[in-house]
Structure 1
Amino acid sequence: SLPLPCNPLRFGGLFLPAADIGVCLEDDGLWHSVWYLLCELLRLCLSTGGRMVNTNCSAAHSRQALSCKMAVEYDKFIESGKKWFCHVDDDNYVNARTLVKLLSQYPHAQDIYIGKPSLDRPIEATERISENKVRPVHFWFATGGAGFCISRGLALKMSPWASGGHFMNTAEKIRLPDDCTIGYIIEAVLGVKLIRSNLFHSHLENLQQVLRSDIANQVTLSYGTFENKRNAINMKGGFSVEEDPSRFRSIHCLLYPDTPWCPSNFTY
């Protein structure tokens, strides 16, 4: 879990201390060294309170392991007293400035669930009511691979189904992964609708469609494979594809060219 305790930022009169945002990074270990390096070099003020939390959950990519990690993220957020809970995966690049700008538009005390669905229709699930009785449910959810944010006001209402060991029990009730379970609690149980934002991106979409001119406006970017092909932001930078296959370093130097490790002989 990586809370983001940076200094307050201003955007066109909007004001939100980044310390009010709890950014929880779900890390399976594959990207740990990259994230550690970026967190240090981005100087996101982690020395003033940011921390790594060992969830003691399995490193597997199973439904149970993912739900275990999300349960810990949720509980840590509630304990933190922060105003916003933002989940991202370890294959995401997070533009902290744009994230703060986006959340500044919404009141944290109200019911806000913002992210991007990966499906073009509500997901269909079966909700177990009792040992021998089930019923169908339909709801939208923000894909965890793109990241999503939940206001504190809404997160507190989720408590009966998410706090302590309840999140994993809820996930088993519908037998779906962690991000789907978040959507189930918010949309199907609490009746709060997902606010869709195209500023969040996962490896499940064609990332080459994100234009270089739009990169600075995005909240999250990703990297992976799409239709069995390498899937990353298409941009030239001071690092080769071999040095920077995710293009995250190149993206960072585009956004923050004064970073000490960004090549000085390349114009972004």
Structure 2
Amino acid sequence: MINTNCSSSHSRKALCCKMSVEFDTFIESNKKWFCHFDDDNYVNVPRLVRFLGDYSPMEDWYLGKTSIQAPLEITNKDKVSQKVKFWFATGGAGFCLSRALALKMMPVASGGKFISTGEKIRLPDDVTMGYIIEHLLRKPLTVVEQFHSHLEPMKFIRREILEDQISFSYSKNKDEWNVVKIEGFDVKYDPNRFLSLHCYLFPRFTFCPR
């Protein structure tokens, strides 16, 4: 666990602050991949590792899933006011960057520059990431269908493909839960179904129902 010393709020600046620390921590490490998932994600880590094995960290890869139907269009008020379009991978489903791509991002993302870039376009962390990669560096997003955010209906992920998926999410709208459809623990004990999902994928754990 790393204390980012950022605000615990969900404001744009707080989110960019946390992402900035994550990015700098990755740059200082010798790791091949930078992967970010939100705290409402369940991540099948062994599946993620196998998936990344098909890609080279020495090439430029921006892997994730969009949450919108068309590229985001913003007015970039830099030296000249102009409209720019770009895709971004939603943090609600998670995304991964190769080391090669992260190193190219350093001039506009490392050492706290990620925060100032986010402030310049006045957009949150995952959108700022897409702006840097797709617009500034001209590197395209590779869509990964096995990443899932709460913005899609979880109940439509079929049981027979659960083991092949990488990330899952959930949300609650009034009294209705958007969750993976899976048997297991009592709904009162496991409302977001993550414990039940974990036991379906990895039944060897002692706390799983027999």
Query: Does residue 262 in structure 1 map to residue 203 in structure 2?
Result: no
Corresponding letter in the other structure for 1:221: F
CA RMSD of aligned residues (A): 1.2
Aligned pairs for 1:103-252 (under 5 A) are 103-130=52-79, 133-225=80-172, 229-237=176-184, 239-252=185-198
C-alpha distance in 1 between matches for 2:203 and 2:97: 31
Distance change in 2, residues 1:213/1:83 (3 Å): same
Q: Is the 8 A contact 1:203 1:226 kept in 2?
A: no
5+ long unaligned stretches in structure 2: none
Q: Which runs of 5+ in 1 are unaligned?
A: 1-51
Q: Residue 242 of structure 1: CA displacement?
A: 0.7
Of 49, 64, 74 in structure 1, the residue corresponding to residue 13 of structure 2 is 64
- Alignment check: 8 A CA contact 2:37 2:95 kept: yes
Q: 1:260 to 1:225 in 2, by over 3 A?
A: same
Q: Distance in 1 between matches of 2:112 and 2:76?
A: 18
Q: Indicate conservation of the 8 Å contact 1:122/1:140, yes or no.
A: yes
Contact 1:205 1:226 in 2 (8 A): no
TM-score normalised per structure 2? 0.97
Q: What letter matches 1:263 in structure 2?
A: P
Q: Distance in 1 between matches of 2:81 and 2:3?
A: 35
* CA apart distance, 1:208: 0.8
User: Aligned equivalents of 2:131 and 2:41: distance in 1?
Assistant: 23
The number of aligned residues is 210
AA matched with 2:199: C
User: What SS does the corresponding residue of 2:108 show, helix, strand or coil?
Assistant: helix
Q: How far apart in 1 are the matches of 2:73 and 2:81?
A: 13
Which structure has the higher relative contact order (CA within 8 Å, separation 6+)?
A: 2
| CA deviation string 1:114-158 (max 9, x = no partner) | 00000010001122214xx42211000000010000000000000
Matched letter for residue 218 of structure 1: Q
Structure 1 225/112 Cα, relative in aligned 2: closer, same or farther at 3 Å? same
Separation (CA, whole Å) in 2 of partners of 1:158 and 1:178: 14
Matched residues, percent identical?
54
> 2:178 is aligned with what amino acid?
N
